[in-house]
A and B are shown apart, each in its own frame.
Chain A
Amino acid sequence: MEINVMQADNNTTIALKGRFDFQTHQEFRRTVDGLLRSGKATLTVDLSQVNFIDSSALGLLLLARESCEKAGGGVILNQPKDYVDKVLKLCHFDQLFQVQR
């Protein structure tokens, strides 16, 4: 999976592309931890290019949310598509996260 970080004004976006699953664990956590260390506590995770998500990735999003909230921010999920959106809804993530569709 590709991970790109984009900064625009005060918005920090982590753009993901490909499969967001157990193989992404370390890279995603490293990215989030690095942004938190640099003072970015509100993160938008762009899911528009993600074509697969599993329970490991859902756990990663929850850990990121917890870390960001502790730092006074939060995590916003942006444009989940098709099956990814279905999985998020099944697991009630639309009640735990702000989801921009």
Chain B
Amino acid sequence: MSGVPNGFTVSTPASEHSLRRPFAELGFAIASKELALAAAVATVRRTMEMLALDNDWISRSELCLQEALLNALCHGNRRDPSREIHVRCIFSAVKVELHVEDDGTGYESNRDFSGVRGTSPGGRGLFLIHQLMDSVAINRTGNHIVMSLTKESSHGNQRYAG
């Protein structure tokens, strides 16, 4: 799995440097199975609770991680249990960054979300991610999503050259 994409690092005043420094990082790979997905979400939630992060951040991260993993499982890896999903979470006092990468060829990331007002039972996962995270970036291939929450709330959804 690739690291933090180029262009994401923001230069900061020295006084803020220690706040921005990650104090915990979690990285693992899971098989494309529902039970593994549920365990991954529970692990990240427990980690955030142990780090005493903001409860609202924990709730947002839990739901968005689950939605990204479901997309990776169903659309990216097409439920093939031999394919892996890679997860990386970086935590600091002012930022949470969640990476999910699958082995697939990607799914449509620039979707029109107007359909969420309708009654179709699907298509709300990526919409929720865009609504709940401050920043969402999906690589050109469409198989690697980076979601972040920041104290500054940049609210920008970007594409990066991954």
Partner-B contacts on A (CB < 8 A): 21-23, 52, 54-56, 58-60, 62-63, 65-66, 83, 87, 90-92, 95-96
Contact = CB atoms under 8 A, between A and B. Distances in A.
B122 A59 contact: yes
A56 B70 contact: yes
Given A21-B66, A54-B66, A55-B67, A91 B124 contact: yes
Given A23-B34, A52-B63, A54-B63, A91 B127 contact: yes
* Interface-centre pick from B66, B120, B127, B131 (highest chain A CB count, 10 A): B66
Interface of B: 34, 38, 59, 62-63, 66-67, 70, 116-117, 119-122, 124-125, 127-128, 131-132
Q: DSSP class of A's interface residues: helix, strand, loop or mixed?
A: helix
Given A65-B119, A83-B63, A90-B132, 10 more contacts: A21-B66, A54-B66, A54-B70, A54-B125, A56-B70, A58-B121, A62-B121, A90-B128, A91-B116, A91-B128
A54 B67 contact: yes
Nearest to A61: B121
Contacts of A87: 63, 128
